[in-house]
């Protein structure tokens, strides 16, 4: 019997699902920001287009998301798509 191979997107979703909510939210925020920026005539910086948790920018975004979650400003909802926050 052949073993089913995960697609890269399935692997990403599985990995994201096992991360803390602040990281899920920061990633969703970053991806959405990068996707929408051109619609508003904004070009994001090339050095921050890929989300990197080890940079000052990435750490700050995670810290902001953590605080927004802890203070109840944002609530996460259980979802098949772990990258989408509950607004």
Residue 58 counted as domain residue: yes
Residue 42 counted as domain residue: yes
pLDDT at 83 exceeding the cut of 80 = no
| Spatial separation of the C-alpha atoms in residues 38 and 59, rounded to whole Å | 24
Quick check: pTM over 0.85?
no
Residue 2 counted as domain residue: no
pLDDT at 80 exceeding the cut of 80 = no
pLDDT at 86 exceeding the cut of 60 = no
Residue 1 counted as domain residue: no
The 10s digit of each residue's pLDDT in 18-43 is: 788 999 999 989 999 999 999 999 99
Domain encompassing residue 26 = 8-70
- Tokens coding 56: 């000052």
Residue 77 counted as domain residue: no
Residue 14 counted as domain residue: yes
Phi, psi dihedrals of residue 64, rounded to the nearest 5°: -65, -45
The number of domains in the chain is: 1
What pLDDT sits at residue 79?
Answer: 59
17 or 12: whose pLDDT is higher? 17
């Amino acid at each position: 019997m052949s073993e089913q191979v995960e697609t890269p997107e399935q692997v990403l979703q599985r990995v994201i699902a096992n991360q803390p909510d602040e990281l899920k939210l920061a990633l969703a925020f970053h991806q959405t920001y990068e996707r929408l920026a051109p619609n508003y005539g904004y070009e994001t910086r090339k050095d921050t287009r890929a989300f990197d948790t080890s940079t000052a920018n990435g750490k700050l975004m995670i810290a902001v998301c953590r605080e927004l979650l802890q203070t109840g400003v944002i609530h996460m909802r259980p979802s098949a798509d772990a990258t989408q926050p509950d607004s």
